Structure 1
Amino acid sequence: MARRASLAIAATAMAMAAAFACGTAAAQAEAPKYGGTIEVGSVYPTISALSWDLGDWNWKQNYDTGQVYEQLFAADLSKARRNGGKYAFQADAWLPEDAIRGELAESWKWTDPLTLEVKLRKNVRFPAKPGVMEERELTAEDVVFSYSRQSASAKKIPTYFDHLSKVEAVDKHTVVFRFKEFNAEWDYRFGWGYYSGIMPKEVATAGAANWKNVTGSGPFTLSQFVQGNSSTYAKNAQYWDTEKIDGKDYKLPFADKVVLRTVKDEATRNTMLRTGKLDVLEMVRWTAVDELKKSAPQLKWSRWLSYTGQYLALRVDTKPFNDIRVRRALNMAVNKQEIVKQYYGGNAELFAYPQHPDYSGYFEPLSAMPESVKELFTYNPEKAKKLLAEAGYPKGFKFKVQVCACSQDHMEMLPLIAAYLEQVGVRIEIQPMEYGAFLSAMTTKTNAPGYMMNNGHTNPTTTIRKSFVAGQVWNASQWSDPKFDARVNQAFQMRDLGKRQEALRAMTRDILAEAPYIWLPTPYLFTAWWPWVKNYDGELRAGAVRNGPIYARAWIDQEMKKKLGF
């Protein structure tokens, strides 16, 4: 009897698996449907557009303008997992070398070790924008203009384009990049990275900071912006690209509109998803997942380890944090294992920053680290007290910590960290700040001795450069070591991938041991979407925080949406 029951269960399971496989195959071959609006809850839910002017060098500009402004390169989404590939395309600014395609670039080649020639696609059009520009073709001069404008910006990240000597248009569709020296991030720096958007000069003339002037060659046009609420993008009927589905090419984009929502209240975001007011919610904290799965069981999910590391930066140019004993003591005083287990309910990794575990060849697990690093992730308040006494602070000290009020996670976690530090005599004054003022404090290097923040892993090289090279914008600890800077520069010039990975692993080990931060766990996050969102599987970025190419390829099955009661 038991055997027959087991066989019956097995047969049922096999039938269900076969049905699922058939359904998956059918879904993959399903013809796209045009029309409708994709409503998206932002992965940066509390932060509205920071600026529409690419020359302002704000980190979020590709998220806000990436539906409109295209770049030379983008993610090759044909290699996404939903297409049988191996990539989730969730990293904030990392594209594997075998998953990059030409976007505006039709082809590219090195004509010599320091000269890169890029051939642009022909007949890519900028649509007409009343009061800004007439319709016209994109040319090599637009690429040169965009690069030159970025490079001349007073807000440019120091050293960012120092590897280039000249960028020139040699004919209507050919751009040549002349290098002073090889840089391992050449394609990221001005190809698919944060500051690589190609903007027509007419927009700059009209005023690039005004959203009403924004126009580009991308799949959508910016049709409406409501500060603190939403950005709405309408279909660009002249868009050049296509998507191949079941062997047939279809003109992009499929949706008539994409709306990126800024919803500061977490409960409101989750309710909007559950009630179908959002088709996609790009970021869901673990605390809400179980309830959403119960109340909306049709939702589809992806779970991913955050590509944004978090830490409490300690300004090493101020006392007492110029003393490594103090910095190491504060790390040992915080019970990071308990934060993983209790605060995050196990939905976090103790050690996953500055390198991300997905960065194969660059990331080393904590078990492979030297004792000087392992010790920083082991709760040891007694040794912390001893180190503080040796450094001249037997009774501890007090310092100010700035935190962004926009981060509910940090606002909740920081009091917990304060309680740990109090156990070794260290007290903190918590200063919540709105995002604009919080970001400005770091970029102007006026941040407090303690600065609680998220910081994107970005990619395996940038994560080290931006955080620990002297003078860099995102170096909140003000870390400065000329020898370390020289090592970073040498690594960037290494053409040999294996040698570059070895160099980055060594630098990562060394900077971890120096403890310019209180290193904190990296949480797992979730993306949720309704099954009526087709040709989508939780992908988040097709370049540096850029989702435009992803939503250009997604469509809404409006019949399914109605059948599900929405």
Structure 2
Amino acid sequence: MTHSKFLNRLSLVACAAALAAGGAQAQETPQPGGSLSIATVFRTVAPLSFDAADWNWKYNHDMGLVNETLFAADLRKSRSRGGKQPFINDAYIPPDAMRGELAESWQLLDNPRRLEVKLRKGVMFPEKKGVMAAREMTAEDVVFSYNRYNTSPKRLATVYEHIDKVEATDKHTVVFTFKKYVADWDYRFGYGYYNAIVPKEVADAGANNWRNANGTGPFMLTNYVQGNTLTYKKNKDYWDSETIGGKAYKLPFVDTINYRFIKDESTALTALRTGKLDLMEAVPWSAVEELKKSAPQLKWNRWMSTLGTFVALRVDTKPFDDVRVRRALNMAVDREQIIKTFFGGNAEMLGYPMHTDYAGYYEPLSAMPASIKELFAYNPEQAKKLLAEAGHPNGFSFKVQTSSASTSNEMLSMVASQLAKVGVTMQIEVLEYPAFLSTMTTKKNAPGYFMSTGHTNPMVTLRKTFGIGQAWNPSQYADKAFEAKLDAALETSDEAKRQQIMRELTREILDKAPHIWLPTAYVYTAWWPWVKNYGGELRAGAERPGPIHARIWVDQAMKKKMGF
């Protein structure tokens, strides 16, 4: 298939996705009003910044009810509505499951290579006293938002490297002219982490002040109690609707949504059990059996965590500049024991950094070469042999940093005790999350860095974690040949060929062992039966639950009848 034909085919798929109906809808009649209280997957992590240009990964999560993006997940294609998509992944929407949000239609064109986006007309920014009058969202807002991201001193390298310029060719048309084709163009400025369309008035008023927040989304942010609750009130002038039983209903359904930040697990579980939470997006496996007994009416969805967990080993620091040392530490970890004791069997060892939902890109460990399989087989004797060959017959000590917000620090202690059996001492330093994150983004992190990070999507996961100079690369891995292969994959329009390249690169990075690879847990989502039009979906874009939550309605009569 020629490049031009491929682009035209993508254009047709994109437009069809924006127009086609999804799966079967629930037949119950929505009840507007009421409130919804949610402990999201990030209930332990408070907002990092309310300014989109600060390039913090959590912005879409906290502000995805307020600010919209060009593209979002087509929730009509979710499994709960009769489709095929779980919509669990942190930042991956398959091309045939993407819809226009602020974009009404779009097409990829050649000569010059460009993306032309037609915006929806009549989409309004509501009035925000002291900040802005109500007005229509236009192409100039998209251009302004892009330029503000692109000129931010906190900008992440390479995200927009393929874009030459962004122009408003008329009031409702935006053209992105490309320097080169990249396979994940739709993620990079469409539904990704740094894509929210924020008006200039908010930036002028001070975007990092939550009181100034304003967007085209279904809700307005009306209160923030630090470390406790984000409160959103219905935007009565919101443009979108949801079709249920063949009838269109104006969104959003509920009047108020509260995102609760609850660090203590037992407190969060009690809030769910007593109905103070309507929905808890991430329930640990260890709590499920008891909850099913004490609150049998709860509904459930089980999913493979989208977070890869590991101890990053700085390859630019001795002794981890020696691949034998890194491989030895992997062989010294008894993952089966961790899965059995820490996870109670509710975990898997994946071919990280790919996720099982990345069809065509993911390859199970069982299909990997012997040199990779041996890294995951517990073999302390071989570990000692490699350490001796590398000049460490008596082992060594190194510092590992972790976050106080991590729910897996007990697992890190297990890893430390296992490494001690081959003479390696792990010194654990616990930091508050902002300080923990800063050490990585400033590249001042310790030789060991324990974290769980999102896989993101098939084309990003390797680059962001192992790309040269990338902010989310705590191992400081830097290999120019590896980087060149990543670039080649990104510029490959043939998906089958691209998948093959990415599988080969995944094998390469596993074999080089810049991380101590650790298991991935199964996680559960629980919600009360009065939560309607919901089936366990978590993201409709990069870490963005907003469109999902805006489509939930509450059966208040049922809730009252159940005694809540």
Corresponding residue of 1:164: 163
**1:352–1:521: 8 Å Cα contact kept in structure 2?**
no
Aligned length: 541
**2:116–2:176: 8 Å Cα contact kept in structure 1?**
yes
Structure 1 residues without counterparts, runs of 5 or longer: 1-24
Corresponding residue of 2:176: 177
**1:127–1:238: 8 Å Cα contact kept in structure 2?**
yes
- Measured in 2, the distance between the counterparts of 1:496 and 1:242 equals 36
Corresponding residue of 1:307: 306
- Measured in 2, the distance between the counterparts of 1:253 and 1:158 equals 36
Corresponding residue of 1:11: none
- Measured in 1, the distance between the counterparts of 2:283 and 2:47 equals 20
One of 455, 479, 489 as aligned partner of 1:491:
489
- Measured in 2, the distance between the counterparts of 1:93 and 1:308 equals 11
Structure 2 residues without counterparts, runs of 5 or longer: 1-22
One of 528, 537, 554 as aligned partner of 1:556:
554
Kindly provide the amino acid, as one letter, of the partner of residue 247 in structure 1.
G
- Measured in 1, the distance between the counterparts of 2:146 and 2:62 equals 19
Give 1:227 deviation, angstroms. Answer: 1.1
Corresponding residue of 1:245: 244
- Alignment of 1:332 onto 2:328: no
Give 1:408 deviation, angstroms. Answer: 2.3
Q: Which has the larger radius of gyration?
A: 1
For residues 538 and 155 of structure 1, do their structure 2 counterparts lie closer, same or farther at Cα, with a shift above 3 Å needed?
same
Kindly provide the amino acid, as one letter, of the partner of residue 208 in structure 1.
A
**For residues 48-197 of structure 1, what are the structure 2 equivalents within 5 Å?**
48-112=46-110, 114-197=113-196
Tell me the TM-score normalized by structure 2.
0.95
- Alignment of 1:292 onto 2:307: no
- Measured in 2, the distance between the counterparts of 1:489 and 1:458 equals 17
Kindly provide the amino acid, as one letter, of the partner of residue 147 in structure 1.
Y
Q: Secondary structure at the match of 1:430?
A: strand
Q: Secondary structure at the match of 2:26?
A: helix
For residues 83 and 155 of structure 1, do their structure 2 counterparts lie closer, same or farther at Cα, with a shift above 3 Å needed?
same
Corresponding residue of 2:4: none
- Measured in 2, the distance between the counterparts of 1:500 and 1:351 equals 21
- State the Cα deviation string for residues 210-264 of structure 1 (Å, max 9, x = none): 0000000000000101110010110000000000001110000000011100000
4+ long deviations beyond 2 Å: none
- Measured in 1, the distance between the counterparts of 2:153 and 2:503 equals 33
Q: Secondary structure at the match of 1:153?
A: coil
Kindly provide the amino acid, as one letter, of the partner of residue 30 in structure 1.
E
- Measured in 1, the distance between the counterparts of 2:526 and 2:280 equals 5
Give 1:27 deviation, angstroms. Answer: 8.8
Corresponding residue of 1:34: 32
**For residues 506-525 of structure 1, what are the structure 2 equivalents within 5 Å?**
506-525=504-523
Give 1:111 deviation, angstroms. Answer: 2.7
**For residues 356-505 of structure 1, what are the structure 2 equivalents within 5 Å?**
356-409=355-408, 411-505=409-503
**2:463–2:486: 8 Å Cα contact kept in structure 1?**
yes
Corresponding residue of 1:538: 536
- Measured in 2, the distance between the counterparts of 1:351 and 1:337 equals 13
**1:316–1:477: 8 Å Cα contact kept in structure 2?**
yes
Give 1:97 deviation, angstroms. Answer: 1.1
Give 1:296 deviation, angstroms. Answer: 0.1
- Alignment of 1:214 onto 2:201: no
Kindly provide the amino acid, as one letter, of the partner of residue 98 in structure 1.
D
Between 1:414-423 and 1:345-354, the stretch displaced more is 345-354
- Measured in 2, the distance between the counterparts of 1:28 and 1:319 equals 58
- Measured in 2, the distance between the counterparts of 1:364 and 1:324 equals 23
- Measured in 2, the distance between the counterparts of 1:441 and 1:475 equals 11
Tell me the TM-score normalized by structure 1.
0.95
Corresponding residue of 1:46: 44
- Measured in 2, the distance between the counterparts of 1:246 and 1:453 equals 44
Give 1:442 deviation, angstroms. Answer: 0.2
**2:25–2:82: 8 Å Cα contact kept in structure 1?**
no
Kindly provide the amino acid, as one letter, of the partner of residue 555 in structure 1.
W
Root-mean-square deviation (CA, aligned residues, Å) is 1.1
Give 1:352 deviation, angstroms. Answer: 4.2
- State the Cα deviation string for residues 135-179 of structure 1 (Å, max 9, x = none): 000000000000000011111111110100000000000000000
